[in-house]
Chains A and B, each alone.
Chain A
Amino acid sequence: MLPTLGHVAVVIGLGASLYAFVAFVIGARRSDPRLVESARRAVYATCALAAVASTAMVVSLLTHDFSVSYVARNNATTTPPFYSIISLWAALEGSILFWTLLATGYASLVLWRYRARHPVLMAWVGATLAAIGVFLFAVMTWPGNPFARMTPIPAEGNGPNALLQNHPFMGLHPPLLYLGYTGLAIPFAFGIAALVTRRTDEAWLGIVRRWTMVPWIFLTLGIIAGGWWSYEVLGWGGYWGWDPVENAALLPWLTATAFIHSSMVAERRGSLRIWSSVLVIATFVLTILGTFLTRSGVVASVHSFTASAIGPWFLGAILVALGVSLALLVWRLPDLAGGGRPAELVSRDSAFLFNNVLFLGLTFAVLFGTLLPLGIEAFGGGKISVGAPWFNRVNAPIFVALLFLMGVGPALPWGRASWATLRERFAIPLLVAVAALAVAFGLGMRMPAPLATLGLAVFVGGILLDELVSGARARARARSEAPPVAAWRLATRNRRRYGGYAVHCGVLVMAVAVAVSATLSSETTTTLRPGQSVDLRGYRLTYDRLAVGPLRDDPRVLETRAELRYTGTQQGSLATASRQYPNSVTPIATPAVRTSLGEDLYVTLLAADPASGSVTLHVLVNPLVVWIWIGGAVVALGAIFAIWPDRRLLPMAAPAGADRPRPAPRPGTATHPASLPAGPEPALDAAVGEAPPSGGARVDA
């Protein structure tokens, strides 16, 4: 009954999105607002239908309805409710259903939000989003039907993927990633609509940037959560392995990041607008490419779902998206020409251009490495794999260059930098960086990679800090405010700029943590009998005993657990285990991780002999790993700070709209009237020439 309801919802969803697509296109061409309105309602309906189907699936999972093939494959009667619910994204068909729910949700939100504005542009946005809906619902209607039945009905199901049910993080990482992926369809739709309608003005740019930032934040968090999950669960002590699925998430992130930067040039100089729409289109094509690569079984990956019939469908989607986008671009090629004077070499303008070049270089390198095995096999060269060392070697120099630009770029003025400006901005941070290097060297750090990263990070961090401090001091002087108050007001009145600085600081923290943890960790593999101990980098681990028994949550799972005590920088006891799931060939490691700000103690159980009680352990001391997650949080918070809507600033920020009625000041803001900027903005801002956020960004605020 319920599965039938779900299936019917999917089929109606296909019809509704088809209708929406046709009605949007005809409505846009005939300028028929009623047709467009009905199309928009149809999109809302697809979201409701996807919600019905998802609910039907979740209930089927919770009630262990094995008549549904998906449930039989990904659930068992003993699966705890939490893992039953998140099994919605445990495998291919369910994840496409979840994907559809998010995609139609985003589409409805955007179409609703801008329902009263930009009628022609929004109709084409709607048409693009509806076309994506048609594809997703069609996949669920034919090759990837999540509600396909199974006869005879098995008495017990296979249970969720063992790795999926091993850690609650699986409830967090995939939804974050999918919120990122699906959201990137929004800027794509605006990119297509811009090419069709030739409209890439301020308002367009503002909307696209905002709707790139939202999925960008989710994608960033999703990628970091994935690394964290991998670190906490997989037991190899690492967090990134350049696996095709990881690359698939990174590729659109790279182009989306490039867009966020190029859009600033587009806004400032009026150039790079078509280029910006190329980037958002590329971003979306890369999200489907990633999905295709990993979900159709084209490349081998630890994440790949079983090879399935959806491969050709996704290939078709890539070709359609790529073909339509390319055709539109070729059609609009004349618009690409022009775009102002060339940028000075040492200026913020050119820093942004270098930024785009580097991000595209990374994108190309990662894409090349991911597709190379496929290409070699297609030419009959047999199976090869491109491993982490290749990616590290190729990408590390680009990352270092980006790190450099991250601090230098924002501190450079637009237009042209004078020698005096350079000296004033960079002399002190440079000295501080050299001093920090000397200290690190004195403390015994000798490896070039972490030294270089550290020096660069201190240099860049110094520049960013200097920007904030001198800006705040100027403001404090001009308005006689306390320095912290001045700093906060300065930041909240230039959210995009200081939010961006915060993001850059978070990246710096991550970069240092990655460089140090990757090069300076210590590890040992040892076999211990009860009572014996092992020493590693100031830690002493003593092995107490082995415990073997079924898991309390799920008695079908057999856990082998080694209990240890440790002393050193941190002290306490830990248990590292391996779990044998009935549906997994290999036992799943459950490493014990003891985290402190300085380092992690990481213990994996490699083997255990119940007869003698002896265990083989892999022990690592990983320095600074926690700072990767902290840095990631700073990145996300900085980005949220940057896009936080600030209504108080509306009149100031949108001089073009000065004739509009000014919103009444909210209670509590009376002491900071909206017309605050009476005096000149802080000297630094004037010198750097950063305009306050323009009207474009505020249209949608």
Chain B
Amino acid sequence: MRRLRWLIVPLVLVPVAWLFLQGIGQDPRALGSQLVGRQMPSFTLRTIDGRTVSSESLRGRPVVLNFWASWCIPACVDEHPVLIDAARRVGGRAQFVGVLYQDRVDDALGFLQRYGETPYPHLIDQASRLAIDFGVTGPPETYFIDATGVVRAKQFGPLTADAMRAKLATIGVTDR
């Protein structure tokens, strides 16, 4: 009987540990996206080098749409090499597109100069219309859209190489 009372220690500790371990590693602010499984919003926007990109022009190929900002340090800096690396390796099998999120074009150009130019274009999101359509809560956020224009996955926060590989797979792109 006297020994039995020691059971109280694991009886308290184990549930506490279990409960909190469930919570660790999840970002409580990471909400699912209503857009997953639906057509992406349509848009026509100018890029920072003066071209025009529309949702129509992106049809037919999987798209990785990355909302970022030059002031988003360090998250956007952290994921920058992951994006460049993936875009190079995937090559023509998916179109990467950056979207400036509440940022000045000059600052964005400075960021690209400092941390590396990307092999893909960046859109200027006037008045954050596209960000609002996608329901972006803050940069970086990345949407993975399949060849038919349906949003398949969303990344909340910076992309890691693993996350990139897993989410590219949802839009039918295998990254070797």
Chain A residues within CB distance 8 Å of chain B: 69, 72-73, 150, 152, 154-155, 157-159, 292, 296-301, 304, 307, 311-312, 315, 318-319, 322-323, 326-327, 330, 333, 371, 374-375, 377-378, 383, 582-583, 585
Indicate whether A304 sits within 8 Å of B13 (C-beta atoms), given known contacts A69-B74, A585-B137. no
Does B77 have its Cβ within 8 Å of any Cβ on chain A?
Answer: yes
CB pair B29 A300 closer than 8 Å: yes
Nearest Cβ on chain A to B113's Cβ, whole angstroms: 10
Nearest Cβ on chain A to B154's Cβ, whole angstroms: 15
CB-based closest 9 A-B pairs: A300-B28, A298-B23, A378-B22, A158-B73, A311-B24, A307-B27, A326-B9, A583-B71, A374-B23
> In the assembled complex, which residues on chain B have CB atoms less than 8 Å from the CB atom of A155?
110, 114
Which listed residue, A73, A152, A312, touches B115 by the CB 8 Å rule? A152
Indicate whether A297 sits within 8 Å of B26 (C-beta atoms), given known contacts A323-B13, A326-B13, A585-B138. yes
Within B1-31, the residues touching A (CB, 8 Å) are: 5-6, 8-9, 12-13, 16-29, 31
Additional pairs, 12, CB under 8 Å, beyond known A297-B26, A298-B26, A301-B28: A73-B73, A154-B77, A315-B17, A319-B13, A319-B17, A326-B12, A327-B9, A330-B5, A330-B9, A374-B23, A378-B18, A378-B23
Does B166 have its Cβ within 8 Å of any Cβ on chain A?
Answer: no
> In the assembled complex, which residues on chain A have CB atoms less than 8 Å from the CB atom of B22?
374, 377-378
CB pair B74 A315 closer than 8 Å: no
| A152 and B116 alpha carbons, distance in the complex (Å) | 11
| A297 and B24 alpha carbons, distance in the complex (Å) | 7
Chain B residue, CB-CB nearest to A76 = B71
Nearest Cβ on chain A to B56's Cβ, whole angstroms: 29
Nearest Cβ on chain B to A604's Cβ, whole angstroms: 22
> In the assembled complex, which residues on chain B have CB atoms less than 8 Å from the CB atom of A292?
20
CB pair A73 B74 closer than 8 Å: yes
Chain B residue, CB-CB nearest to A580 = B102
| A311 and B6 alpha carbons, distance in the complex (Å) | 28
> In the assembled complex, which residues on chain A have CB atoms less than 8 Å from the CB atom of B115?
152
| A307 and B73 alpha carbons, distance in the complex (Å) | 15
CB pair A152 B114 closer than 8 Å: yes
> In the assembled complex, which residues on chain A have CB atoms less than 8 Å from the CB atom of B19?
371, 374-375, 378
Chain A residue, CB-CB nearest to B110 = A155
Chain B residue, CB-CB nearest to A320 = B13
| A451 and B102 alpha carbons, distance in the complex (Å) | 50
Chain A residue, CB-CB nearest to B30 = A307
CB pair A318 B73 closer than 8 Å: no
Does B112 have its Cβ within 8 Å of any Cβ on chain A?
Answer: no
| A300 and B16 alpha carbons, distance in the complex (Å) | 18
Does B163 have its Cβ within 8 Å of any Cβ on chain A?
Answer: no
0/1 per residue, B21-56, Cβ < 8 Å to A? 111111111010000000000000000000000000
Nearest Cβ on chain A to B5's Cβ, whole angstroms: 5
Q: How many residues in B have their beta carbons less than 8 Å from beta carbons of A?
A: 32
CB pair A72 B24 closer than 8 Å: no
CB pair A318 B28 closer than 8 Å: no
CB pair A315 B24 closer than 8 Å: yes
Indicate whether A318 sits within 8 Å of B16 (C-beta atoms), given known contacts A73-B74, A297-B26. yes
A-B contact list, 15 entries, CB within 8 Å: A69-B74, A72-B73, A157-B73, A158-B74, A296-B24, A297-B26, A304-B29, A315-B17, A327-B9, A374-B19, A377-B23, A377-B26, A378-B19, A582-B71, A585-B137
Chain B residue, CB-CB nearest to A373 = B28
Nearest Cβ on chain A to B34's Cβ, whole angstroms: 14
Which listed residue, B12, B21, B102, B110, touches A322 by the CB 8 Å rule? B12
CB pair A315 B73 closer than 8 Å: no
Within B128-160, the residues touching A (CB, 8 Å) are: 137-138
Chain A residue, CB-CB nearest to B77 = A154
Nearest Cβ on chain B to A148's Cβ, whole angstroms: 10
Does B72 have its Cβ within 8 Å of any Cβ on chain A?
Answer: yes
| A582 and B139 alpha carbons, distance in the complex (Å) | 13
Chain B residue, CB-CB nearest to A331 = B6
CB pair A72 B74 closer than 8 Å: yes
Chain B residues within CB distance 8 Å of chain A: 5-6, 8-9, 12-13, 16-29, 31, 71-74, 77, 102, 110, 114-115, 137-138
> In the assembled complex, which residues on chain A have CB atoms less than 8 Å from the CB atom of B114?
152, 154-155
CB pair A333 B5 closer than 8 Å: yes
Indicate whether A304 sits within 8 Å of B24 (C-beta atoms), given known contacts A322-B12, A326-B8, A330-B8. no
> In the assembled complex, which residues on chain B have CB atoms less than 8 Å from the CB atom of A312?
24
Interface-central residue, B6, B12, B20, B21, by most chain A CB under 10 Å: B20
| A307 and B157 alpha carbons, distance in the complex (Å) | 10
> In the assembled complex, which residues on chain A have CB atoms less than 8 Å from the CB atom of B137?
585
| A311 and B73 alpha carbons, distance in the complex (Å) | 21
> In the assembled complex, which residues on chain A have CB atoms less than 8 Å from the CB atom of B18?
378
> In the assembled complex, which residues on chain B have CB atoms less than 8 Å from the CB atom of A72?
73-74
Interface-central residue, B12, B24, B27, B137, by most chain A CB under 10 Å: B24
> In the assembled complex, which residues on chain B have CB atoms less than 8 Å from the CB atom of A378?
18-19, 22-23
Nearest Cβ on chain A to B37's Cβ, whole angstroms: 17
CB pair B13 A298 closer than 8 Å: no
Interface-central residue, B77, B110, B137, by most chain A CB under 10 Å: B77
> In the assembled complex, which residues on chain B have CB atoms less than 8 Å from the CB atom of A323?
9, 13
| A299 and B73 alpha carbons, distance in the complex (Å) | 23
Interface-central residue, A312, A327, A582, by most chain B CB under 10 Å: A582
CB pair A298 B9 closer than 8 Å: no
CB pair B16 A319 closer than 8 Å: yes
| A513 and B5 alpha carbons, distance in the complex (Å) | 47
| A184 and B73 alpha carbons, distance in the complex (Å) | 35
Chain B residue, CB-CB nearest to A150 = B74
Nearest Cβ on chain A to B2's Cβ, whole angstroms: 9
| A312 and B20 alpha carbons, distance in the complex (Å) | 9
> In the assembled complex, which residues on chain B have CB atoms less than 8 Å from the CB atom of A333?
5
> In the assembled complex, which residues on chain A have CB atoms less than 8 Å from the CB atom of B17?
315, 319
> In the assembled complex, which residues on chain A have CB atoms less than 8 Å from the CB atom of B72?
158, 583
Indicate whether A330 sits within 8 Å of B6 (C-beta atoms), given known contacts A152-B114, A154-B114, A292-B20. yes
CB pair A585 B24 closer than 8 Å: no
> In the assembled complex, which residues on chain B have CB atoms less than 8 Å from the CB atom of A326?
8-9, 12-13
> In the assembled complex, which residues on chain B have CB atoms less than 8 Å from the CB atom of A158?
71-74
| A585 and B72 alpha carbons, distance in the complex (Å) | 10
> In the assembled complex, which residues on chain A have CB atoms less than 8 Å from the CB atom of B28?
297-301, 304, 307
CB pair A298 B20 closer than 8 Å: yes
Nearest Cβ on chain A to B114's Cβ, whole angstroms: 7
| A323 and B8 alpha carbons, distance in the complex (Å) | 10
Chain B residue, CB-CB nearest to A311 = B24
Nearest Cβ on chain A to B14's Cβ, whole angstroms: 10
> In the assembled complex, which residues on chain A have CB atoms less than 8 Å from the CB atom of B31?
383
Nearest Cβ on chain A to B110's Cβ, whole angstroms: 7
Indicate whether A311 sits within 8 Å of B25 (C-beta atoms), given known contacts A322-B12, A323-B9. yes
Interface-central residue, B9, B18, B28, B29, by most chain A CB under 10 Å: B28
Chain B residue, CB-CB nearest to A334 = B2
> In the assembled complex, which residues on chain B have CB atoms less than 8 Å from the CB atom of A304?
28-29
> In the assembled complex, which residues on chain A have CB atoms less than 8 Å from the CB atom of B9?
323, 326-327, 330
| A150 and B73 alpha carbons, distance in the complex (Å) | 11
| A530 and B74 alpha carbons, distance in the complex (Å) | 42
CB pair B23 A299 closer than 8 Å: yes
> In the assembled complex, which residues on chain A have CB atoms less than 8 Å from the CB atom of B74?
69, 72-73, 150, 158
> In the assembled complex, which residues on chain B have CB atoms less than 8 Å from the CB atom of A157?
73
> In the assembled complex, which residues on chain B have CB atoms less than 8 Å from the CB atom of A311?
24-25
Nearest Cβ on chain A to B79's Cβ, whole angstroms: 14
Nearest Cβ on chain B to A23's Cβ, whole angstroms: 28
Nearest Cβ on chain B to A371's Cβ, whole angstroms: 7
| A330 and B27 alpha carbons, distance in the complex (Å) | 36
